[in-house]
Chain A
Amino acid sequence: MPDSKPVYLDHAATTPVDPRVLQAMLPFFRERYGNPSSLHRYGQQAEAAVERARKAVAAVLACRPAEVLFTSCATESDNLALRGAAWAARSQRGARRIITTPVEHHAVLHTAMQLAADFDFELDLLPVDEYGMVAPSTLASRLDQDVALVSIIYANNEIGTINPIPELAALCRQRAIPFHTDAVQAAGQLTLNVDELQVDMLSLGAHKFYGPKGIGVLYVREGTPLQPAQTGGGQEFGLRAGTHNVPLIVGLAEALRLAADERDRHVAHYADLRDAIVSGVIEHIPQVRLTGHPEKRMANHASFVMRGVDGNHLLAALDAAGFACSSGSACKTGNPEPSDVLLTLGISHEWALGSLRVTVGRDTCSADVERFLAVLPDLVQRIRSLGRQEEV
């Protein structure tokens, strides 16, 4: 309960809406509220806004506008990519195997698990290294014509590791196997050029790059076999039915445009702050380890595990001290389980329960980081000593 304003260090969870994005959205709530599917001028005006937005997104992805689908969020994009591509691959070529990784966001992993459990697909989880990274040679050894699709996360939300997407996707491209990537964390910091990335499908969610919540994109390369997962009025080229959320679509496009334009400046700012956090934590806290790749990681992302620390207790204590952070196993019901991702990396239960994720943003300043580093070691020490006392 600090007297000063709290410091938000959880930008991987969500970001505030950029004021310029908000301004771009506002007219579409009250003045230009038409339904893009309507014939009249209200509808035409709204349709024009959606198509302008589609073009703006396509410009950032270096794709054609018709390859951009608007969805309600990145989770829906992941669901559509996996279900739609898996069903299409089976009906067109009888392929039954879905290849993904054990460190995916649940939007991908649980969708793949459901396809395996209830729709008779086979789940093939690729091994990852200690940083959560997939080696192209590992993927190459698993590819054959029974593979319906491959989905590999671009940048990991829990540990910040960046996968070599161009190399991985190229292997699939050579074999005409659809490749999807969840680029939710990558957006705003890494290239989203789909030709450089060589991906067939890519998911985005606007609220991770200073856009509104409740709106996402699925890029689908022309010619990628995909069946709709949500049917209805035929919007979005028949692949995603439902009335267009015009203000949020406009907001997503504006946020993505701004994020791409200003990317270099933000990334440099993030990396300075992140490096200060990583070195400060490693230096001042005993029994702590960086999780994820030391170099090939998101510029704004610092993540750790600490031995013998109740991670949820640490998050509560940090919040009470004025710092909003996260962990891989955030639990609001007091019954913590370590994150599957951390356990997959070979981190023991005792360390994995003490996870902490610190993600900086545009408004984070070095004074915030200094204040954070000034309180963290003492909190960790006190939480550890209370934990030890209860080990009877």
Chain B
Amino acid sequence: MPRRRVAVAMSGGVDSSVAAALLVEGGEQVLGVMMRLWSPNRDRANRCCSPDDMARARQIAAQLGIPFYVVDAQRPFKNRVVDPFAAAYASGLTPNPCIECNRHVRWTFLLQYAETLGATHLATGHYARLHFESGRYHLLRSVDRHKDQSYVLSMLSQEQLARALFPLGELTKREVRRLAHEFGLEVADRPDSQDLCFAINGDYRSLLKELGVPLPPPGEIVDPTGRVLGHHQGLAFYTIGQRKGLGIAARHPLYVLVKDVEQNRLVVGPRHALARHRFDIAHTNWILGGPPREGEPVTVRVRYRASEVPCRVRRLAADRARIELSDPLYDVTPGQAAVFYAGEECLGMGIITS
């Protein structure tokens, strides 16, 4: 059997650097790759891959004695992540582009690119574990619960998981930092950013402008009975559950309940009106091939950092399902990914539709 060769996706940060170092130490044949992603500002690189980051990743690769290549991923990233994000966002959804980036760019384009460099596997610094049993790959949460990133990997197929390696899955962030020190890797401890990597300072308005997507028009803010309370700036700029920034003086706090795209109205109301006992998902990905069995104890997470709640999954069609909750959730947002777990195992995901 030919020896396996691993391409490791590097960012210049501590996680991917330690992942690369662990692979090298384990005697693997390793090469480093780093994607250049599209940026709306031609003179300024995407925040994920600034010249500094590239220089740092290149240095780490040299220190580890592995070749390093920068991959021009601007076109796939723009076409498959940024444009769909902007279109969905402008239409009132709240999409999660990191999910689509992992699906289409990192685990499709980059994986295929790595294959042309002779790689058989693609490794990343994600905190997640893989387990192979009974002919199938199982995606498990990382040992470090705080860092677990199985949420953004929940869209992977068996074919993709067969090529994936997550060297950090059994480690805590603390251990990773210690290892970085032991390996003598000079990697900056950058704080995790909450903004999208391609929207400068979270400025979605100028992003839409740059992309030529028409800005969503202003409209009315109404209560659930239809009474006009004020005016909104465009539905795209609000999220379900949002309380601040509505510009309405009211005796009780008001929350965004619904973004009514057809009538261009923002429906607001009290927090209890946000409670959802069920919602639907589409574009489902079930890692083991199908949805969980009826009655299997399953939990769901409706945002990356949301807490998990028990649920039941009812299959509606090949790629659609209805999710029923015993306890209500207050932040179910169309466009976001709902990710399912059974104990340690990530079962898959779907995009929330309603």
Residues on A facing B (Cβ under 8 Å): 1, 310, 312-313, 316-317, 319-321, 331-336, 379, 382-383, 386, 389-392
Contact = CB atoms under 8 A, between A and B. Distances in A.
Given A1-B118, A334-B49, A313 B72 contact: yes
Contacts of B54: 332-334
B73 A320 contact: no
Interface string B62-74: 0000010111111
* Interface range for B: 20 to 34
Contact of B72 (A319, A321, A335, A392): A335
B35 A390 contact: no
A83 B12 CA distance: 41
A386 B51 CA distance: 26
Interface in B49-67: 49, 51, 54, 58, 67
Nearest to A320: B117
Contacts of B13: none
A117 B75 CA distance: 35
B79 A392 contact: yes
A272 to B, nearest CB: 29
Contacts of B35: 334
A335 B74 contact: yes
A334 B31 CA distance: 16
Contact of A316 (B29, B36, B69, B112): B69
Contact of B80 (A320, A382, A392): A392
A386 B113 contact: yes
Contacts of A310: 72
Contacts of B51: 333
B109 interface: yes
Nearest to B30: A1
A309 B73 CA distance: 14
Contacts of B34: 334
27 contacts: A1-B31, A1-B67, A312-B72, A316-B71, A319-B69, A320-B31, A320-B67, A320-B69, A320-B117, A320-B118, A320-B119, A321-B118, A332-B54, A332-B70, A333-B54, A333-B70, A334-B34, A334-B54, A334-B70, A335-B36, A335-B72, A379-B116, A382-B116, A386-B109, A386-B112, A386-B116, A390-B76
A390 to B, nearest CB: 5
Interface in B16-42: 29, 31, 34-36
Contacts of B322: none
B5 interface: yes
A1 B32 CA distance: 12
A92 B190 CA distance: 59
A221 to B, nearest CB: 43
A319 B35 CA distance: 17
B172 to A, nearest CB: 31
Contacts of A379: 116
Nearest to B75: A390
Nearest to B112: A386
A284 B76 CA distance: 29
A43 to B, nearest CB: 40
Interface centre among A332, A334, A389 (most CB of B within 10 A): A334
A310 to B, nearest CB: 6
Nearest to A318: B117
A119 to B, nearest CB: 27
A156 B72 CA distance: 28
Contacts of A392: 79-80
Contacts of A317: 116-118
Nearest to B113: A386
A320 B5 CA distance: 11
B120 to A, nearest CB: 10
B26 to A, nearest CB: 15
Nearest to B66: A1
Interface centre among A310, A335, A390, A392 (most CB of B within 10 A): A390
Interface centre among B34, B49, B70, B75 (most CB of A within 10 A): B70
B20 to A, nearest CB: 14
A377 to B, nearest CB: 13
Given A316-B69, A320-B118, 9 more contacts: A1-B31, A316-B117, A320-B67, A333-B36, A334-B36, A334-B73, A390-B79, A390-B109, A392-B79
Contacts of B58: 332
Given A333-B51, A390-B76, A313 B113 contact: yes
Given A316-B117, A320-B118, A336 B109 contact: no
Contacts of B70: 312, 331-334
Given A317-B117, A334-B49, A382-B116, A1 B36 contact: no
Interface centre among A1, A321, A382 (most CB of B within 10 A): A1
Contacts of B31: 1, 320
A336 B117 contact: no
Contact of A383 (B49, B109, B116): B116
Question: Which 3 A-B residue pairings sit nearest by Cβ, starting from the closest?
Answer: A334-B36, A334-B70, A320-B117
Interface in B67-91: 67, 69-76, 79-80
Contacts of B69: 316, 319-320
Nearest to B6: A1
A384 B338 CA distance: 36
Contacts of A1: 5, 29, 31, 67, 117-118
A382 B113 CA distance: 9
Nearest to B73: A334
A331 B51 CA distance: 13
A379 B36 CA distance: 21
A12 B36 CA distance: 28
Interface centre among B67, B74, B115, B117 (most CB of A within 10 A): B117
B84 to A, nearest CB: 10
A391 B73 CA distance: 12
B79 A334 contact: no
B34 to A, nearest CB: 8
Nearest to A6: B67
Contacts of A335: 36, 72, 74
